[in-house]
Amino acid sequence: MPERSYVNDPNIRNEAALWRRIAPCHLVRDDNLGELRPTSAAFTNSSDGSPMSILIADIVQDTGRDPSDLLKPFPGYSLASITAGLARDQNQVVLRDTFGDDPTEPAHGYVAGHKTKAVKRALSRNATWIVPPKNTL
C-alpha cells in the first residue's frame, strides 16, 4: 500500500470544531483544573499508525444530526471537542477523510501528525464537552 500524504485542508477553518468520542475508561479527575476531563491518552494516533480520527462538527450538523445521535452506538461514551486551530498550533494537520476509510460517515476526518505527550496534553486540557460524561468518578 503506497504511503499516504496527509495534507492540511485550508477549507477547514481554525474555528471549526472537531469532535472525538471519549471512552468511559478515558476520564480522569483533574483537581488542578477542578474538573473531569479526557485523559491525554484519548488524543492519540491509532494503534495501526493511522492518524487520530475526528468528526467535523459542521458536517455532522449539515447532515441534520444531533451530537447525542453520534453516541447511540456507543453507550457510556462522551463527546469532546477541540478546534482545528488548537490542533494546528500543536503542529498537526487537519483534513477530511478523502481516502474513503469510513464511507458511512461523511464527517470523518483526521488530525494528523506526531503527537508527543505535550501535544496530547494540550489537546486534552483544552477540550470541551459536547456530550459530557453522565457519571462522575
Partner 1 sequence: MSAIHIPHELIEPETLTGRDLTQDIRFDTLGTRQTLVPSEPFGWELRGRVPGFGLVLKGEGDLPEWVLATVERLCDLLWLNADWDSYGASPVDRLTVELALDLLFAIMQKTSPLPSVVPTSCGGVQLEWHTAGIDLEIEIEPAGSIDVFFCDQQTNREWEGSLGSDYSAITDAINSLTERNARAPLE
Contact of 40 with 124, CB cutoff 8 Å: yes
Among 121, 126, 129, 132, binds partner 1 (CB under 8 A): 121
Stretch that binds partner 1, among 18-26, 60-68, 89-97, 103-111 (CB under 8 A): 18-26
CA distance 35 to 45: 25
**Cβ partners under 8 Å of residue 90, min gap 6:** 113, 115, 119, 122, 123
| Stated length of the chain | 137
Among 2, 5, 10, 33, binds partner 1 (CB under 8 A): 33
Binding mask 76-115 for partner 1 (x = CB under 8 A): -x--------------------------------------
CA distance 2 to 6: 13
Stretch that binds partner 1, among 6-14, 21-29, 59-67, 82-90 (CB under 8 A): 21-29
Among 12, 18, 21, 55, binds partner 1 (CB under 8 A): 21
To partner 1, the closest distance from the beta carbon of 25 in angstroms equals 6
Could you tell me whether strands 78-83 and 17-22 are parallel, antiparallel, or unpaired per DSSP bridges?
antiparallel
Contact of 1 with 107, CB cutoff 8 Å: no
Under the rule (CB under 8 A), what is the footprint of partner 1?
21, 23, 25-26, 28-33, 39-42, 44-48, 53, 74, 77, 116-118, 121
